[in-house]
Amino acid sequence: MKRLASFGLMMVAALLMATRDAHAYLDPGTGSMLLQGLIAGIAAASVVLGGYWSKVKAFFSSAPKDRKAQGRPGDPPEQ
């Protein structure tokens, strides 16, 4: 395993040393588009996690059915 990791590290180093110039231009519109995608990803993740959070919170906040039938201490008696 150690030998495979060292081989992989050597391959990555060799690829990084053999790069060529891209001669590419990133205008400000590209940067704003990347920022917009990042913000959208964060918003989507928060919506998904918020949905799961409400389910987890509802699971832990609901009392077992037996306890509901018995009533909690301090509850007024049912008539």
Structural domain boundaries in the chain: 32-62
Q: What is the arithmetic mean of pLDDT over 30-59?
A: 91
pTM here? 0.44
Each residue of 45-78: pLDDT tens digit?
A: 999 998 888 888 888 887 555 555 555 666 666 6
The pLDDT value recorded for residue 20 is 79
41 vs 37: CA distance, rounded Å: 6
**Alpha-carbon Rg for the chain in angstroms:** 28
